[in-house]
Amino acid sequence: MTDLFDAPSEAEAERPVEPAGVGDVPEAGRATTAAHLLLAATLLGAGAIHMVMVPSHLDESTVDGVGFIASAWVQLALAVAVLVRPRRRVLTAALIANLAFVAAWAWSRTSGLPVGANPGEAEAVTFVDGACVALELVAIAVAAWLLRGPRRLGAAATGGALVGMTAALVLATAAVASPSALEHASGGHHVRTDAIDDLGFAALQNGQMGSHEHVEGTGASGGVGAGGPAMDPDTAAELAGQLAETAQLVAAYPTIADAKAAGFQQAGPFSPGLGIHYNRGFNPNADGRMDAEDIAKPFLIYDGTDDDAPLAGFMYLAYQDTEPEGFAGDLDRWHYHTSVCIVTTPTGIDTPFGADLTGVTKELCEGRGGTLIEFTGYMVHVWTVPGYESDLGTFSDLNPRLTCPDGTYHRIPTAEIGDADTTCITP
């Protein structure tokens, strides 16, 4: 029998020593322990995100809610098991479970799951679910690495694993506290944002809002027929009478050809949402009130550039320093533009770059024989032409029915307009 004091054999010397405590774990053991901590942190973070999202999904569908409960408990239980008994079957379970969770998420964001609140409907990708999937992907990678067996790693790799553990917990915390988690909980996660293609209208609205000012307190964002503020019967009747007078204009100038024959001239290019404007002389409203004489002298707005383009609406101008009284009631939205190029002609005015494009410079304007002005006077659009009633309201600034020929609202850069009759990318 070998004496206890004899020198150990070569095989015995290379045998790893069982750790007596945390401080006694050899280098290979420390690396494995750090990897286990990282795996547990990712499982804990993903499970916590699933658990936080349970109430909102239960409100919409029992199937969805139960699915999230099951996912949360599986991941939380695996996180504990990885720390307490990190056997191969635990690591294998963590790998397979997270592969299944990631596959289910990918399915829900592409063609849509066949069950739940919205079967077959693709969901939107948000920060909260993206963070959860990111944690699951890391868990898959770490579990696969551990299943290959312990390997000797340096201190840098061990430190990296510990940093990753901290990052996983921070990411999970940020996800459950993020605005997207609140939107997810409010039921907005079933609307896929990339599936709702507004064809450039949102950018059109942003550009327009950035290039002119609205008068505060002059009406609702909608207008007649768009949920505007209530008004008394007498005021409503007066407004209805004013708008009814535009029917005579519809009958008199149904196409651009009719406007030209009556002496109207083009004032700027066609722009989606705004159409193309025609005016006859410069007839601003003198007192800011819309009587029958003022209503009979609008800018005519057409949907297109050809002579047979149909009438779509009207624009009225009140060149004064204060907010105009306008139409009866508080629905009309008067606004003014800044940095607009104006070219004066014998029969009226022209705005070669339109009124809602950014990037119009003094040099560009002077190159067209115009003057860059900082205040256009107050104006309002009126959409009462049958077939061109704006979904945003009778007095809305933009009319979604006025699109480019391809049905979009995409515009070319300001500097490229030149002598073009349209700002549309596809004329």
The domain ranges of the chain are 24-195, 201-416
pLDDT, residue 28, reads 39
Pick the closest to residue 269 from 424, 426, 405, 422 (CA basis).
422
Specify the pTM.
0.48
Residue type at 245 in one-letter notation: E
pLDDT, residue 298, reads 92
pLDDT, residue 32, reads 54
pLDDT along the chain (427 residues), means of 10: 44 42 39 78 91 79 87 93 90 95 90 79 79 92 85 62 77 68 48 51 59 38 46 88 94 96 89 90 78 92 95 88 84 76 68 64 77 74 93 89 90 71 79
